[in-house]
Chains A and B, each alone.
Chain A
Amino acid sequence: MRATQLTRALMAPPTASVDETWRTHLRAHLSSAITPVVERLPCGEQLTVTLPLLRQAIAHPDSLAHDNVPFAWKPIFVRRSLGLAIVDACVSGRFRSPAEAADPVASEAVAEWERTGWRTFHWEPWLAGLRQGTRALVLAEAVSWATVLWASLDWKALGQRPQIGGADDQWVCPAPRTVRLKGRSELRLPLVGGPARSSEVGQITAPVALVSVSGGSPPLAWSDELSFLALVAALRSPSRPVPARVAGLWPDSGHHLIVEIGEEALTAAADRVGATVSTAVEARLSVLERT
């Protein structure tokens, strides 16, 4: 799908809507499915369900039982957040393209951290201490990632400026052990033509389309995975409209796929969450047994 076609499809008026009663039902349904499963975990255990976990539970369930590798910064961990900042700088008109924006945007982030001590992206101290060769690699990864997103949409055709990146959507399931659902989208595009709502801070919020960028090729269950992002956004706050649609971009394979969000899509995503929680709990219990 070309940039103009994708943009048009993303910005089309919503085709389905989810009413508040059903959303309440969805919360209760998910909580009742998760509660008996996570009760098997020891007190104090927590589980965070993300899109990568959903994928891992299907593709490599055995790997869930492996010990976590200690975190260390790598270029691949920086490319999304720096890439989004780069795209944001291009959308705002400061730069003509990601290749032009990368170095100044990264330098500004580091300078801001040095000036204030505040880490907007968390990687600023790491980036500041890198040698030129490593720093260039970090920038190169971010430029390639950002360029693909930048070239995927017809930005001028978007009615309003989209939200680029931003905080993840989160919902904590009221279960005996903490189960947190986290949804991360690259873009939120406000749509015209759907019902607007009042947000918690009194602003009117229009329905949105979410955009998610992934590596590789779309899996068989791509529709459920994209719907998961809408599910978390829908559960997060009753005052925000349920996303109207979610687009998935798989630049490596050239796929752009869209799922319209209705009750059916959200139910499928909720079922997938339930199955993932089961798999993850089994894996966690097997690790605890080993130790």
Chain B
Amino acid sequence: MPRIEPEYFAQPGEQAGRRAETRETSVTTAVAFYEELRVAYGFALPAGQMRVAVNAVFCPWTRSLKEGDHVVFIPPVSGG
């Protein structure tokens, strides 16, 4: 199974209780990976209210994941 490297910011970071980790997973897309983590950590927001970045590039939730991918779930931004 591929090992994926999620990094968490803002509310998901608090809910996960960590900033980053390496996880083995059998799922193959960013959205399925998020749903897996949502079950594990109880993330409040559905994927439809967030964006996702793989290897520091915004991408569609349907993006496939491979070994070593760095994944960041982007909750609604509030800069400024």
- Whether chains A and B associate is no
Contacts from A to B (Cβ < 8 Å): none
Chain B residues engaging chain A, CB cutoff 8 angstroms: none
